[in-house]
Amino acid sequence: MFWKKANGSAAPESTRHASNGEDAALDAVAHLLKAFGENAFDTDNVTAQETRAECEGWAQKITVGEGKTEAPEPGASKAFKRDYVGVRRYFTAQRAHEREFVARSLGNLREAVHAFARCLTTTVGEDRAADERVGTQLGRLVGAFQSNDSEAIRSEAEGIVAVVHEVMAKRSESQKRMLSELSQKISDLGDELQEVREKAALDPLTQLFNRAALDAHLDRVADLAFLLSSSPCILMIDVDHFKQCNDTYGHAAGDEVLRRVADCLVRNFLRREDFVARYGGEEFVVVIPDSTIHNAELRAERVRQSLSELDIESGKGKIQITVSIGLASLASGDSGHSWLARADAALYEAKSAGRNCVRVARENATAVASIAPPKSVGPVSRALPAGRHNS
């Protein structure tokens, strides 16, 4: 369980005496809180980051406890207090607030649609009334013709000209007003939908593009590469021994590691056309739209070195990390899926070779060694057996 102390240090008294069932329950509650925080979103008075921090805090309180209560008898062991009532109240209140926020946002969208409908209804009603006035005036003109009274015909003809002119002027003003109102409503709706679309495409923890956005981007790049005669490359990056980092320093420190890795990737791939995404867990993907494999390899090595030089602070000391990188250029006949799979195979080779290195996938999907740094590794990357899923 992630909340137990590392390096063999003793767990809190209550966890040492708790049953396996209680351990599992506490672990499940902590993971639920963490998942809730990771998928939080900004509301009108609470940011997603604040919600994540609150959830992390409650996870710590539930799993580790807030402090020791007095022993009931002399010589008896002391226990850590867990605020089950507090976490239930927090979770219930936060969910109620989010539900109210979403309902209010949907209400705003409905109101915009209703305003659109009202505008159309008003315009149609005004047009119908104007058409009735013109029809009445035409009827009077027809009656004047039947009477053969030239003065009456002249008068009614002038009358219908005046009515038609007035109706057209009002209709023009009404249409201008309607178009102005509709333009504003559409602009407001467009802004809201764009904000929702952008949030849906971003990973909440790192603010990089998420897996769904990556999949769509890979297909677009693969489809256009032939037409543009470009040679795009993928870097698949995995933080070495990330599970050990979480177990040793805690999940809050692990989240900070992922954020720092994301920031470093963005700084190393500053070109507008470069695409940086969080693939999932501790894995990241960078899409370089047009590059030789040699230049992409050099950039991969630079980012590997930059990440190995990060000093990340935590409550239990500084964290240093290393990464393994798989690199693949788009091959003839590749789809976005097969292209990514070859980069993943190269990443597997990098991890099998001892991690903290770059490997390149060739077009036949076999990965070979490319650039390998010295064997020194950071404290997070120590003494774990090689393997793709043992991060």
85-99 exposure pattern, b = at least 16 Cβ within 10 A, e = fewer: eebeebbeebeeebe
Tell me if 201 sits within 8 A of 213, measured CB to CB: yes
Query: Which residues does 307 contact at the CB level (< 8 Å), separation at least 6?
Result: 261, 264, 321, 322, 323
CA distances from 382 to 129, 135, 273, 291, 375 (A): 83, 90, 36, 34, 11
Tell me if 287 sits within 8 A of 265, measured CB to CB: no
Question: Of 54, 56, 156, 282, which residue is the catalytic one?
Answer: 282
Which of 335, 225, 239 is CA-nearest to residue 289?
225
CA separation for the pair 264, 116 (Å, rounded) = 46
Which of 378, 387, 316 is CA-nearest to residue 6?
316
Q: How many helices (H) and strands (E) does the chain have?
A: 10, 6
- Residue 32 is encoded by which pair of tokens? 């639920």
Give the bridge partners for 277, in sequence order: 209, 285
- Residue 54 is encoded by which pair of tokens? 């609150």
| Element housing 237 (H / E) | strand 233-239
282 in catalytic set: yes
**Tokens 């009202």 sit at which residue?**
118
Query: Which residues does 127 contact at the CB level (< 8 Å), separation at least 6?
Result: 171
CA separation for the pair 54, 46 (Å, rounded) = 11
DSSP labels, 347-366:
HHHHHHTTSSSEEEE-TTS-
DSSP labels, 125-187:
HHHHHHHHHHHHHHHHHHHHHHHT-HHHHHHHHHHHHHHHHHHHHHHHHHHHHHHHHHHHHHH
User: What residues act catalytically?
Assistant: 282
